[in-house]
Amino acid sequence: MNKGIWYGIGAYAMWGFFPIYWKLLQHVPALELLGHRIAWSFIFLIIIILISKQWNEFRSLINRKTLGIYLIASLLIGVNWLLYVWAVNAGHIVETSLGYFINPLLSVFLGLIILREKLRLTQWIPIVIAFIGVVYLTFTYGRLPWIALGLAFSFGFYGLVKKLAPLSSVFGLTLETGILFIPALLYLGIHEADGTASFLHTGITADLLMIGAGVVTTIPLLMFASAAKQIPLTMIGVLQYLAPTIQFLIGVFIYKEAFDTTRLIGFSIVWLALIIFWVENFMANRNPPVQPLPEVGAD
């Protein structure tokens, strides 16, 4: 097994285990966690760019059009990160995994609606099946699974915007977190001033974990970038389901979230749609159904 596969497994496994990391910071408000994730990710990424002597290249690629694209991308990724962290710490890990299971299907549907991409007749089958699964889960939950749909839609639209993005994944995430850096600092500063901040006030372990949010955001991204250069996209297409699978197992078996037979049926319908979707695309193109967008990760 070549290094690329290990890098891919490592990246998606890290994204899959994100719920455990955020649970360690359950006492910190989700908005504050988002602020720290943005701030420390930006700082860590800038350090990487400087050490690798890519600063001049990074600066040369930034223009008004690029800033416009990444402004929209940064807002979408900010919403995605905030919803994910809040959902994990509010006891909805299983539902977050559903969001990332249905995301590849939703991305194709958004491509159809917004980009006017054409679908083969056989591609409609898994989309319809997944829709049935979501409707079934709506009745099972007694409400619309808005967390899953919110994650899927924010990530799906993020993917559409990134189709126009000219930068590499590392440069792209640097610019996205850079755009949000000042607002994040202002938010954190206001809470420090009014005495409600958690950073430096809840123990060294929590402080290190908040700083580490930048590291755990960046490391799997770098691993994925290496994997993408060394293994076929078909392999990446399979590996992308590792993260939500791990999240699902963590939610059910570690944090004992509710998952009865009726919800199992709903998830099974979605999983069936994914299997049909991937097999259909593999047979037709020998390419993965959707190239994953690692900047969010499953987080």
Residue-wise pLDDT for 86-134, tens only, equals 999 999 999 999 999 999 888 888 888 888 888 888 889 999 999 999 9
Residue 273 has pLDDT above 90, yes or no: yes
| Alpha-carbon separation of residue 232 from 107, 146, 198 (angstroms) | 20, 34, 43
Task: Quote the pLDDT of residue 88.
Answer: 98
Please compute the mean of the pLDDT values over residues 259-274 and round it to a whole number. 94
Task: Quote the pLDDT of residue 295.
Answer: 46
Name the average pLDDT for the chain: 91
Instruction: Grade residue 53 by pLDDT with cuts at 50, 70 and 90.
Output: very high
Place of tokens 């206001």: 190
- C-alpha to C-alpha distance for 294 and 299, rounded to whole angstroms: 10
- C-alpha to C-alpha distance for 127 and 102, rounded to whole angstroms: 9
Q: Which is more confidently placed, 230 or 72?
A: 72
C-alpha 259, offset from chain centre: 23
Tokens of 31: 């908005």
* Sequence-ordered alpha helix ranges (H) in 115-145: 121-141
Place of tokens 């890519």: 54
Q: Which is more confidently placed, 83 or 106?
A: 83
| Alpha-carbon separation of residue 27 from 59, 165, 204, 263 (angstroms) | 38, 36, 14, 29
pTM, two decimals, is 0.90
* Torsion sign, CA atoms 289, 273, 106, 218: negative
Residue 222 has pLDDT above 50, yes or no: yes
Span 233-247, pLDDT tens digits: 767 777 889 999 999
Task: Quote the pLDDT of residue 293.
Answer: 46
- C-alpha to C-alpha distance for 217 and 229, rounded to whole angstroms: 20
Residue 287 has pLDDT above 70, yes or no: no
Please calculate the CA angle 40-45-46 and round it to the nearest 5 degrees: 100
User: Taking Cα atoms as reference points, which of 118, 234, 114, 119 lies closest to residue 164?
Assistant: 114
